[in-house]
Chains A and B, each alone.
Chain A
Amino acid sequence: MTDMPLVRTSREEIEVYRFGPVISVMIPLLALVIQAFVPVKFRSFAIFDLPLLVTIFFAVARRSQVAGMLTGAVIGLVQDALTHQAIGLYGIAKTVVGYGASSLGVKIDVENPGTRLLVTSGFYLVHQAVYFLVARNVLGVAMEWLWARTLLAALLNGIVAIVLFGVLDRFKHST
């Protein structure tokens, strides 16, 4: 655990990370495959959103808004393609999250586990809210906003993010 302050004080403190092309493709792909495969055996696993966590991780590590939103858009659209709903729902939600996470990564320290928990939980709520609004208002899908379930899912995703980000940290290279 480092004693770094949560808020950056100068541009010099910002460290931008890069990933190899193989990692950039394989990790999101692996997240999508696991997300699609594990719920077949354990339905409750669907409460997690590994593609969202990967989106947040890449966005905050690269600290580039363009890269963040594009990563989010691509991962979201691929996730959409696996559902039976119209393509674009997850795409829009993850584009917003990618943009927001990369913007936040510039301003705060996201290496801290506590910050990671808060950031991930917060962006999970944003993601669900955007999805809900678009699905309900654009597509007219009958959906219910379940507060208890959504908050629980946000917390669980935040906890998983701490572990996952710790593993993914090994693949990033500082520039």
Chain B
Amino acid sequence: MENFFSRYRNASLLVLLLVAQVVGLGVQVRRRTEAGGTRLVRFWVVSAITPLERALVGANQGVRSVWRNYLYLRGVRQENRDLKAQIERLRIEQVRLSEDAAQARRLQALLGFKEQYIAQTVAAQVIGSSGSDQSHVIYIDKGANDGIKPDMAVITPNGIVGKVLRVFHGSSQVLLINDPSSGVGAILQSSRLQGILQGTAAGEVMLRYVMSDEKVAAGEPVLTSGGDRIFPKGLPVGAVQQTNPGSDLFLNIRVKPAADLSRLEEVLVVTKIEENIPAEPAGPVRAADILAERLPSVPPKPPALAAKGTTASAATVAKPAATNPSNSATAASTSGAQPSTSPAIQSRTNGAAATAKPAVGGPEPAARSSGEATPDTVAKKPAAKPAETAPAVGTVGGTAGTATKPAVVQPAANKPVGNGEAGRTKAIDSAGQPVKPAAPPQPPSGEEVPR
């Protein structure tokens, strides 16, 4: 026996090493099914490697920062112009979407629908990877010290990336969605078909378990379904790239991830998800209300002055816009209600004011002169929930005797108005309560409209 080992010493050592590692594999497989945990050797290796990777990332960023911020500035002005134009477009879109969102919240509240919100995220930088085609994982520079825990979702603004697999003190291991061992609940946006998103050995992302008799169009967006309890519902995953009939009952749907998994630099770790029923808004909110919210507000009117206004035929009292001297000058030459720069709101005013023609695109309205009624009066968000048919923009003033409750209109004061935004005014009665929108009275025929 001694001769055998001395003769085949190296081969015996090889066998011994291999057997030891195979036994180690077996132990890990058994323990993995019982409980998780991180092997000590993994902890040591990651602790040794990640500081070096962090230094490399830091050096790389420093060089790029100097290059991009100080040297390579070609096309920056054009880009700046484009971005400004984009901001303007998005502002307009935001108004529309806010209304849709408010409507969705109302409906969700009515249905008792529980919604998941991403309440808190931690930004992290990608500092490394496994370096292997067989293991699609990345390392980020945030760990247990930053509140990261296993099974937290990792996303980018473009789409989901993966989930936190292992957490170390100052770094974490993230399993990407294109790894074969990954699984994400997903849903097709328009057809609402649900499936499970899995990776392949080649690093592709496939949507599994969609029945082969379903029709799935290429390019259809894929979202998270929330079924995995890791990713909140509705996050973008990607788009259907190719659909083939599978060998079994299911389709082979290849998905192109929305996030570029091969070039990740910064990611967000979702550290807190809240699930609650959205609160119902106080009253119906329309686009005009949202627009009005964006307008400058006014300070409350003293009650004494408000009471004075009740005697006025127009039932409105307006204060001059103190910050706009040109308005006062214009107001001196006017006697009636003056137009607003907000035609959308103005078109809803009634009575004498309603007939005033707006000076579209003009500056601060001259109607904000003392003693003059302003047409852009908004009964914004009344305390009591108005009827569904009630106009969003209230009716204030009107011709003499038409308003049973005289209102006081307080124009915007001390706030400069620019960019076509008109001052917001509130219609309140003498008691300081918002005026309920009334039916629009017909202006007397032949009434002269002051300009």
Contact = CB atoms under 8 A, between A and B. Distances in A.
Chains A and B come from one and the same complex: yes
Interface of A: 29, 32-33, 35-44, 46-47, 65-66, 69-70, 73, 77-79, 81-92, 95-96, 99, 131, 134-135, 138-139, 141-144, 146, 149
Interface stretch (B37-45, B92-100, B206-214, B360-368): B37-45
A36 B18 contact: no
Contacts of B10: 65-66, 69, 99
A33 B39 contact: no
Given A37-B128, A40-B126, A81 B42 contact: yes
Contacts of A33: 49, 52-53, 56
B41 A88 contact: no
Contacts of B41: 77, 81, 87
B323 interface: no
Contacts of B18: 92, 95-96
A69 B13 contact: yes
Given A29-B52, A35-B131, A138-B29, 19 more contacts: A33-B53, A36-B53, A39-B129, A43-B263, A46-B129, A69-B17, A77-B21, A78-B45, A82-B49, A83-B137, A85-B135, A87-B24, A87-B28, A87-B41, A95-B21, A99-B10, A139-B29, A144-B202, A149-B202
Interface string B225-268: 00000000000000000000000000000000000011110000
Nearest to B137: A84
A37 B42 contact: no
A107 to B, nearest CB: 14
B289 to A, nearest CB: 48
B102 interface: no
B22 A81 contact: no
Interface stretch (B66-74, B172-180, B297-305, B432-440): B172-180
Nearest to A72: B17
A146 to B, nearest CB: 7
B215 to A, nearest CB: 28
Contact of B128 (A36, A85, A144): A36
Contact of B134 (A35, A44, A135): A135
Contacts of B166: 84
B407 to A, nearest CB: 64
B132 interface: yes
Interface size class of B (residues with CB under 8 A): 35 or more
Given A35-B131, A40-B264, A84 B21 contact: no
A81 B10 CA distance: 26
B134 A143 contact: yes
Interface in B19-60: 21-22, 24-26, 28-29, 32, 39, 41-42, 44-46, 48-49, 52-53, 56-57
Closest 7 pairs between A and B when the two form their complex, measured CB to CB:
A43-B262, A83-B135, A81-B45, A35-B131, A65-B10, A86-B28, A81-B42
26 contacts: A29-B52, A32-B131, A36-B130, A37-B131, A40-B128, A40-B129, A40-B138, A40-B264, A42-B262, A43-B263, A65-B10, A65-B13, A70-B17, A77-B41, A81-B44, A83-B134, A83-B135, A84-B181, A85-B135, A86-B25, A86-B29, A99-B10, A138-B26, A138-B29, A139-B29, A143-B201
Nearest to A131: B134
B295 to A, nearest CB: 48
A133 to B, nearest CB: 11
A31 to B, nearest CB: 9
Given A88-B28, A96-B18, A142-B180, A82 B134 contact: no
Contacts of B128: 36-37, 40, 82
A35 B165 CA distance: 20
- Chain B CB count within 10 A is highest, among A42, A69, A88, for A88
Contact of A92 (B21, B28, B130, B137): B21
B127 interface: yes
A141 B14 CA distance: 24
Interface in B98-132: 126-132
Contact of A88 (B25, B48, B52, B201): B25
Nearest to B265: A40
B7 to A, nearest CB: 13
Contacts of B22: 88, 92, 134, 138
A146 B26 contact: no
A84 to B, nearest CB: 5
- Chain A CB count within 10 A is highest, among B18, B26, B39, B261, for B18
- Chain B CB count within 10 A is highest, among A29, A38, A43, A144, for A43
